[in-house]
Structures are given as C-alpha cells and as structure tokens.
Structure 1
Amino acid sequence: MAEALHPSQMRTYFALTEAASLLQYAVQQQLQAEGGLSYVQFEILAKLVDAGRPLTMTELADGVVYSRSGLTHQAGVLEADGLITRAPSTVDQRATVVTITKAGRRRLDKVLPGHIDVVRGLLFDTLSAQDVRTLGNLMTRVRDHMREQPPRSAAPRKSRGSAH
C-alpha cells in the first residue's frame, strides 16, 4: 500500500489544483466572452502563432493537453470558423498540417489583452519578481518531469468495440 502524503504535501497539492482550476475557469470565461473561444481553441491559435509556422496535428497534440479526438474536433470548429486551415502534408502523407489564417490572428489579437489582464490579475499581481522566478523554476521542473513520459500522440490508440 502506498504511503500517505505528508500534510504539507497534501496542502500544497490542494492549493495547486485549486489555484489552477480557479485560474483556468476565469481564463475560459474571458476567452468565451471576448472571442467565442474555448481554452483549447485559444491554445491552438497561440501555439500556431508562437511557432511561426504551420504545425502538424501531432505537433499540436504533443503540446496541448487534450485528447486526440477532442483536438481534432476543436480544430474542425476553428476551421469551420475560418480561423485555421488543415491540409495534407506535402512531406508526409499521413500528417495533417494546420495553418492559422488572418482571421485566426485577428481573433487571437482580440482576446489577448483580456487574457493577459486575467492572468496578471489573478496570478502575478500577488507575487514579487522573485516569487515569479521561483514559481516558474518550480513549475518548469514539475512540468518537465511530467513530460518525460512519452508524448500522448505516441500512446497506442484504444480500439473501439474490439474483443481482444
């Protein structure tokens, strides 16, 4: 049987998960109200702009914490709204390449100021510059440890209705 968490570990765990949930909820509300975007849709657009180039669906899946089918659905919604395009890769026939459109960049530009305000107001305004550096270092280490697992896009797909 696993050893129980130390009370300080339990407090830290609950504080972290609650803070992350509260921040994510506020961000989702802002993105929906100002741009009609879900957080995952915002993340897809932001990752495309940040990359400065089209990305494959696999690259997006490895960078976005979301199921493959959910990511495909969200990309379909963004494509239907004219915010991205998807096309077969000219290099790898199995890959789909995703490109942000001008409308997608405009939508991202529209929601970004409010997004920054929410993040700054809820997360960074209560922290000193040293706190931000410390938190950033700690969370980077934790994230990197979690990401040491194979990317989710490399995980075998579960077959549906298979009786094996």
Structure 2
Amino acid sequence: LAAYVMDTTLDPIGGGKAARAGVIRTRAVSTRTTLLLLRYRFHILGSTRDGSPLLAEDVGLLAFESIPAQARWLASDAAEALLAARPDANILASEATTFVQRVVDGIADLQQHLNETASARASDLLDAHRRVRRATSSRSGVGAVLRVEPQLPIDILGIYVYVPA
C-alpha cells in the first residue's frame, strides 16, 4: 500500500489529487523533518452488555528530524507548526520520490515509538471514559470501561517530508 500511495502521489499524469505523501523545500526547517499523519484505532472493552468491543478512532500528527533510524521526535506543537510551512524552492520529482521512499523503508525503525504513542493515547482514552462515567454517575456496571487496547500497527495516512531550502 505504501508503495502504491507513493507511486500515485508523485505520478505527473494523475496529478497526485489524493496526495498522501509529499516533499517540500522550505526555510521553516533547518534539518530534514518528516511529518506523519496517523490514524489510531482502539477497542474499548467492557462498554456493552454483550461484551463486544467498541471501536474508537483518532487521528494525530507526529514529526521527527533526521532519518527514521536516528529519529529525534518533536513536541506536538512543533509537529503542528509544520502544517503552516510554505515551499520556498522547487524540488525534483525524483528527489521527492527518494525522500519519501527512505521514510517508507524506515518504518520499522519508527514502529516502537508509534506503538508507545498508541499505548499512551489508549490510556488517555480510558481516563476520559472514566471521567465521563463519574460525571454522569453511571453505577449500573453496564458500560463500565474495563480497558482500552490500541490496535496495532497504527495506520500511516500521510508522509510529508520537509527539506531545508
């Protein structure tokens, strides 16, 4: 899937209308920086009478500097700030393909951090459900959330590489 997305995104004939990967040369970064658009899925267990899990989804951004094997993860506000970056110079399609392919090839190096992030978000979701239950005084036992499990691996919806201009 990642190879297909990359190929169709950079296809000059198709125009990359549903671009899920991209590369820009910008003064907004001083070192190569990658922004990942992620979809998290969670099973919420213990919320239904029949015991079947509920599905919750969330999207988020994570960003890192350098290459995947040496990723230096950025704070969430720095990741969000990348969304405002503007291109300051052109980049060849062949260069863009190479930059995105390097990230795709290095996904395994990122997996531990992605999984840890999913686990932290699952814990936050569990806390949020418990706060809502307390606030609504749900005492029946039905609907009590026992645990939230992240569904791994996380879906990578977009890969955006920022290269210094």
TM-score, normalised relative to structure 2: 0.27
- Structure having the larger proportion of residues in strand: 2
Higher relative contact order (CA 8 A, sep 6+): 2
TM-score, normalised relative to structure 1: 0.27
